[in-house]
Amino acid sequence: MDDSCFFCQKLRRLAELPADEVVWEFPSSVAFLGPWQYFAGYCILVSRRHATELFQLSVQERREYLEEMNLLAHAIADCFTPRKMNYELLGNQVGHLHWHLFPRRDDDPDKLKPVWLALNRAERDAAEKTRLQAASLPRAEIAARLRAFLQKHLPR
What residues line the site for a copy of itself (CB under 8 A)?
A: 52-55, 59, 62-63, 66-67, 70-71, 73-74, 77, 84-93, 95, 104, 111-114, 116-117, 120
For 34-137, where are the E strands, in sequence order? 43-47, 84-89, 98-104
Cβ atoms of residues 30 and 14 within 8 Å: yes
* Minimum CB distance to a copy of itself, residue 88 (Å): 5
Q: Which is nearer to a copy of itself, 12 or 63 (CB)?
A: 63
Q: Which is nearer to a copy of itself, 129 or 139 (CB)?
A: 129
Q: Which is nearer to a copy of itself, 11 or 115 (CB)?
A: 115
CA-CA distance, 127 to 142, in Å (whole number)? 23
* Minimum CB distance to a copy of itself, residue 74 (Å): 4
CA-CA distance, 56 to 95, in Å (whole number)? 12
**Contacts of 35 by beta carbon, 8 Å cutoff, 6+ apart:** 133
* Minimum CB distance to a copy of itself, residue 126 (Å): 20
Strand partners, 24: 31
* Minimum CB distance to a copy of itself, residue 4 (Å): 17
Q: Which of 19, 17, 22 is nearest to 32 (CA)?
A: 22
* Minimum CB distance to a copy of itself, residue 111 (Å): 6
Q: Which is nearer to a copy of itself, 48 or 105 (CB)?
A: 105
Angle between helices 116-124 and 126-133 (to 10 degrees): 130
Q: Which is nearer to a copy of itself, 14 or 90 (CB)?
A: 90
